[in-house]
Amino acid sequence: PVLGICLGAQLLAHAAGAQTYLLPYWHRAANHPWQDLATGKGYITAMNHGYAIQTDSLPPDWLMSFRHLHDGSCAGLRHRHFPWQGVQFHPESILSEHGHALLKNFLLSKN
């Protein structure tokens, strides 16, 4: 299993063949809203990055899993078949219910 956090998500995207772009307004603060696209639920957490993953450059086996609610940029990606995922937010920073679940699921993953 692979879990890329912040720059790790961008590196994972680059390794998959996707591109990143410079955000006009960087994401730097503890209260950034994002949405889990699988459940539709919104969350607040810390972000600290100036680049975002260009979702239209993701290969077909990859999809955007989380969306930043201020500007619609990619806040997370995952592979459709393998246990590879990345998030632009910091689940370890503010252990919200979702951040805690994300880390727990990754640590308990056996794939």
6 in active site: yes
90 in active site: yes
* List 6, 32, 49, 98, catalytic entry: 6
Taking only Cα atoms into account, the Rg of the chain, rounded to an integer number of angstroms, comes to 13
Instruction: Note the Cα 61 to chain centre separation in Å.
Output: 16
* List 32, 68, 90, 98, catalytic entry: 90
* List 14, 70, 92, 100, catalytic entry: 92
Sequential DSSP letters for 75-102: EEEEESSSSEEEESEETTTS--HHHHHH
Question: Which residues are catalytically annotated?
Answer: 6, 90, 92
